[in-house]
Amino acid sequence: MNVEKAINVEDLHRMAKRRLPKIAFDFIEGGLEDERGLERNTSAFHKHQLLPRYLVDVSKRDQSKTIFGQTFASPFGISPTGGTSLFRYHADLMLAEAARNANIPYIMSGASNETIEVAAKIAPKNHWYQLYSARDPKVNADLIRRTADAGLGALVLTVDTPVGSKRERNIRNGFANIRGGLFQALSLKPSILAEALTHPGWIVEYFKRGGGTPMLGNWQPYAPAGASAEEVYKFTSSVRPFNAQTWRDLETYRKLFPRALVVKGIMSPADALRAIDV
Ligand SMILES: Cc1cc2nc3c(=O)[nH]c(=O)nc-3n(C[C@H](O)[C@H](O)[C@H](O)COP(=O)(O)O)c2cc1C
């Protein structure tokens, strides 16, 4: 499969579906519960139409945008996605490289498989880090220190997952439990494994990276020495304060991180105003 042959985004969507086993593809494509949010987001774009004005010299065009004092080539970037080695080995680094080449921001997920430091070498000017915090403040302080030391332009705090999301496709595929918790451990039940075998490109990469759960690279140093990828994943899940993160934590992170701090996922205008105050 050659992505250069894709004519539009829908072609990439079809290629991804062909390449990935259902258990991985559904995680990326699926929404929550009845998936109405996916529909609503798409139709929100359809509400807008562009009204072009002609007889203007557009031989030179510029969509660059200055964000936090840095000029990027476009006013958008790559949102954080966790567990990407399940989809593509070293995908975090590929995203970092793509962001560098396109000069847009790349936000490394707090559940990435590669580390802050390695991606910072690839995309020193385009790399931000999304913090999933731990219950132990020393771990958070260290992750923030690493983000600052590696010279990253922004720290991004995701706030919209106080409880696990109910992604029903994941539950059906045996990739999450009914309460919504996500297991990156691939427990391939026979029907799921049989389906996965029909995607040989993915299977080859799965074994190339050693199979099983991909390592949560940034969390490895905080888990017991010598822990396997699956043990690091279980450790990380056990120390994450999903439902206990508060404004006080945001205030702490604001003090610890010397550069731009982004709060990701806010929905209420009142929360947005409060975040600006912090
Ligand atoms: C496969 C997948 C993994 C994601 N992982 C994360 C994550 O680790 N951290 C995070 O803040 N958001 C994560 N998100 C949410 C995205 O960053 C983004 O906010 C969301 O997909 C909405 O943008 P979209 O409408 O362009 O998909 C993930 C989304 C997907 C589809």
Residue 155's nearest CA partner among 140, 138, 134 is: 140
- Domain's final residue, options 209, 243, 270: 209
83 and 133 assigned to the same domain? yes
144 and 271 assigned to the same domain? yes
pLDDT given at position 250: 97
Ligand 1 pocket test: pick from 12, 42, 81, 156 the residue with the most ligand atoms within 8 Å of its Cβ.
81
The residue nearest atom 25 of ligand 1, judged by CA position, is: 41
154 and 244 assigned to the same domain? yes
Q: Can you tell me the distance from the alpha carbon of 232 to that of 226, in angstroms, rounded to the nearest whole number? A: 9
Residue 215's nearest CA partner among 234, 199, 197 is: 234
The residue nearest atom 26 of ligand 1, judged by CA position, is: 79
Say if 43 falls within a structural domain.
Answer: no
Q: What are phi and psi of 72, to 5 degrees?
A: -105, 160
For the chain, how are helix, strand and coil distributed in percent, rounded to 5? 45, 10, 45
Q: Which ligand 1 atom sits nearest the alpha carbon of residue 109?
A: 8
Q: Which ligand 1 atom sits nearest the alpha carbon of residue 107?
A: 17
236 and 255 assigned to the same domain? yes
Say if 9 falls within a structural domain.
Answer: no
Which residues line the pocket of ligand 1, CB cutoff 6 A? 27-28, 41, 79-82, 109-111, 130, 158, 264
87 and 182 assigned to the same domain? no
Residue 258, SS3 per DSSP = coil
CA of 175 to the centre of ligand 1 (A): 17
Say if 148 falls within a structural domain.
Answer: yes
Determine the structural domain holding residue 174 and report its residue range. Answer: 166-209
Total number of domains constituting the chain? 2
pLDDT given at position 182: 53
Residue 183's nearest CA partner among 17, 23, 7 is: 23
186 and 244 assigned to the same domain? no
Say if 7 falls within a structural domain.
Answer: no
pLDDT given at position 116: 98
pLDDT given at position 179: 60
Say if 33 falls within a structural domain.
Answer: no
Residue 165's nearest CA partner among 12, 37, 15, 73 is: 37
Intervals of the chain under pLDDT 50: none
Ligand 1 pocket test: pick from 43, 79, 160, 245 the residue with the most ligand atoms within 8 Å of its Cβ.
79
Question: What 8-state DSSP symbol labels residue 127?
Answer: E
202 and 216 assigned to the same domain? no
What burial class does residue 27 get, using C-beta atoms within 10 Å of its C-beta: 0-12 exposed, 13-18 middle, 19+ buried? buried
CA of 109 to the centre of ligand 1 (A): 9
pTM (predicted TM-score)? 0.94
pLDDT given at position 209: 87
CA of 81 to the centre of ligand 1 (A): 5
Say if 8 falls within a structural domain.
Answer: no
Say if 252 falls within a structural domain.
Answer: yes
Say if 12 falls within a structural domain.
Answer: no
133 and 195 assigned to the same domain? no
216 and 205 assigned to the same domain? no
The residue nearest atom 23 of ligand 1, judged by CA position, is: 79
252 and 153 assigned to the same domain? yes
pLDDT given at position 160: 92
- Domain's final residue, options 209, 242, 270: 209
Residue 156 is part of a domain; what is its CATH number? 3.20.20.70
69 and 132 assigned to the same domain? yes
140 and 260 assigned to the same domain? yes
Q: Would you state the torsion angle of the CA atoms of residues 164, 165, 171, 174, taken in this order, to the nearest 10 degrees?
A: -50
Which percentage of the chain shows pLDDT scores above 70? 95
Q: Can you tell me the distance from the alpha carbon of 85 to that of 147, in angstroms, rounded to the nearest whole number? A: 21
The residue nearest atom 31 of ligand 1, judged by CA position, is: 28
